[in-house]
Amino acid sequence: MNEPTIRDLPALEGVRVLVRVDFNVPIEDGKITDDTRIRAALPTIEFLRDKDARVILVSHLGRPGGKVVESLRLAPVGRRLGELLCAEIKLCADCIGPEAETAAASLAPGEVLLLENLRFHPGEEENDPGFARSLAALGDVYVGDAFGAAHRDHASITGVPRYLPPVAGLLLERETRIIRDFLILPERPLVLVLGGAKASDKVAAVAKLLPKIDEACVGGLAGATFLAALGADVGGTPVPEETLLVARDLCVGGGRQKLKLPVDVIVGSTPTPHGEFRSSYADDINPGEQIFDIGPKTITEFTKIITRAKTVVWNGPMGVFEVEELAKGTRAVAEAIANSRARSLVGGGESAEAIRSMGLTDRIGHVSTGGGAFLEFLLHDDLPGLEAIREHSRARVPA
Ligand code: 3PG
Ligand code: MG
C-alpha cells in the first residue's frame, strides 16, 4: 500500500496512539449480535500493545445525530473487546475534553482506553476542525483502521490526520490489499451480484462497474429500478425517480446485455413476518404490491450465472433479508457463491451476515468489514480515509 502503516512507526513504547476503529456493530437489547468488526480490529490493537504503546480507541456507533443517545453508548463494545483481548478496557464518558485527556494521559504502556461514541458530537460528521483538533490532542500518533467508515469525510477519518502524524492500521491495510488483488486481472467471467435498499447508490455502482465486469445479477431495489426503467410496472415499489433516468441510460447505452434482472419476484403489501406474499412475473405486479425478494426462476438463473463465474463480487441482499419469508433470494445467492469455484469477495453488513449466519464464511474468499466503504473502494480504488493518511503523512514523519 502507498500509505505508511503502523509497521513503519519507530519505537512506540509509552507513545499515545489514537486509533480510529469501526466498532459500528449491531446491538440488540444491549447485546452485540455480531462482533466481526471488533475481532477485525484486534491485530492492530495487539500489535500496539505488544510494543507497549498507550492505545486510545475511537469509534462511532449508529447514527445518533450529534447528541447523546443512551442506547448507542460504547460500553457493550468495551466489554466484548475486553473479553476478546483478555484485558481490562478503560472507558471514558466522552471522546474529547478534560476527562478524555486525563484518561488518555493516565494510561500505562500497553493499556487500552475506549472513548465514547464520536457521533455524540456534531463536529464528527461535520468534520469540524476544532473537534478534530480536540481528538488530536489525545494522541501523539494517529492510526486509521476503520475500513468500514473510511468512505466518510468525518473529523476522525479525514480531519485528525491533519493534526497528528497519520498511519494506516493492519485492517485498513489488509482490506485494501485483498480487494485490490482481486481486481487486478480477475479471472473471467467476473460477475457482480448487487442488491440492497439504497437503489440510487447501487444503480450508480452498476453504471460505473459495468465496463469492468462480464455480467451483473441485480436484485433488491436496484433490480426493481432497472425493471421500472425498462417499462415494467413495479406496483408500489419505491423506486427513486431520479435514478430511473440513470438506469434507463445504462440500458439504452448497451449495458443491457450484461445486466441480469429478475424475471420473477416475491411481492406483497408490507414486508412483515408472516405477511402474505406471492411470487409474480416481474411485469405482473398489482398497484398495491411491492417487490420484496427475487423469485424462484430468478434464483435458478442467478445461481447458473454464479456457478459459471470465475470471480464473484457480491454486495447487498436480494430482498428484505430480515424477514424469514423474504430471505430466500439472499440465502440462495450466498449458497451459490459458497458452492461455486469462483474466487469470491463479499461486502456489506447484510450480505456478510447472511454468509456468517449460514456458516459459509470459510467458503468465501474474503468477507469485507465494509459496506458502503467496500463499494466505494471498488468504484474508485481509493477512499477519503486512505487519501488523508497519504497526503498528511507526506508532510509529517512521526518523531
Ligand atoms: C457502516 O456500518 O457501513 C460503517 O460503520 C459506516 O456507518 P455509516 O453508514 O453510518 O456512516
Ligand atoms: Mg452500513
Given a cut of 90, whether residue 395 has pLDDT beyond it is no
Does residue 159's CB lie within 6 angstroms of at least one atom of ligand 1? no
> What is the rounded CA–CA span in Å between residue 348 and residue 220?
13
372 alpha carbon – ligand 2 mean position (Å) = 6
pLDDT band for position 396 (50/70/90)? Answer: low
Does residue 371's CB lie within 6 angstroms of at least one atom of ligand 1? yes
Q: How confident is the model over 166-177, as a mean pLDDT?
A: 97
Average pLDDT of every residue of the chain: 95
Q: How confident is the model over 142-163, as a mean pLDDT?
A: 98
Q: Which ligand is nearest to the CA of 24?
A: 1
pLDDT band for position 399 (50/70/90)? Answer: very low
Given a cut of 50, whether residue 178 has pLDDT beyond it is yes
Closest CA to 345 of 365, 363, 359: 365
Closest CA to 313 of 202, 149, 387: 202
Residues 15-71: tens digit of each pLDDT: 999 999 999 999 988 899 999 999 999 999 999 999 999 999 999 999 999 999 999
Q: How confident is the model over 80-99, as a mean pLDDT?
A: 98
pLDDT band for position 184 (50/70/90)? Answer: confident
Given a cut of 90, whether residue 312 has pLDDT beyond it is yes
User: What pTM does this model have?
Assistant: 0.91
pLDDT band for position 253 (50/70/90)? Answer: confident
pLDDT band for position 315 (50/70/90)? Answer: very high
Q: How confident is the model over 387-391, as a mean pLDDT?
A: 97
Residue reference for cell 449508529:
62
**pLDDT at res. 398:** 45
Given a cut of 80, whether residue 1 has pLDDT beyond it is no
Q: HSE-up of 108 (CA within 13 Å, CB side)? A: 3
Q: How confident is the model over 69-79, as a mean pLDDT?
A: 97
Residue reference for cell 447484510:
350
Ligand 1 pocket: which of 22, 33, 126 to mutate (most atoms within 8 A of CB): 22
Residue, of 349 and 234, whose pLDDT is higher:
234
Q: How confident is the model over 317-329, as a mean pLDDT?
A: 96
Q: How confident is the model over 286-294, as a mean pLDDT?
A: 96
Does residue 22's CB lie within 6 angstroms of at least one atom of ligand 1? yes
Given a cut of 50, whether residue 76 has pLDDT beyond it is yes
Does residue 372's CB lie within 6 angstroms of at least one atom of ligand 1? yes
**pLDDT at res. 28:** 87
Q: How confident is the model over 193-215, as a mean pLDDT?
A: 93
**pLDDT at res. 125:** 98
165 alpha carbon – ligand 2 mean position (Å) = 28
Q: How would you write the chain as a 3-class SS string?
A: CCCCEHHHCCCCCCCEEEEECCCCCCEECCEECCCHHHHHHHHHHHHHHHCCCEEEEECCCCCCCCCCCHHHCCHHHHHHHHHHHCCCEEECCCCCCHHHHHHHHCCCCCCEEECCCHHHCHHHHCCCHHHHHHHHCCCCEEEECCHHHCCCCCHHHHHHHHCCCEEECHHHHHHHHHHHHHHCCCCCCEEEEECCCCHHHHHHHHHHHHHHCCEEEECHHHHHHHHHHCCCCCCCCCCCHHHHHHHHHHHHCCHHHCEECCCEEEEECCCCCCCCEEEEECCCCCCCCEEEEECHHHHHHHHHHHHHCCEEEEECCCCCCCCHHHCHHHHHHHHHHHHCCCEEEEECHHHHHHHHHCCCHHHCCEECCCCHHHHHHHHHCCCHHHHHHHHHHHHCCCC
Given a cut of 60, whether residue 89 has pLDDT beyond it is yes
pLDDT band for position 283 (50/70/90)? Answer: confident
Given a cut of 80, whether residue 387 has pLDDT beyond it is yes
Given a cut of 60, whether residue 275 has pLDDT beyond it is yes
**pLDDT at res. 267:** 98
144 alpha carbon – ligand 2 mean position (Å) = 18
> Which is catalytic among the residues 220, 349, 370, 385?
349
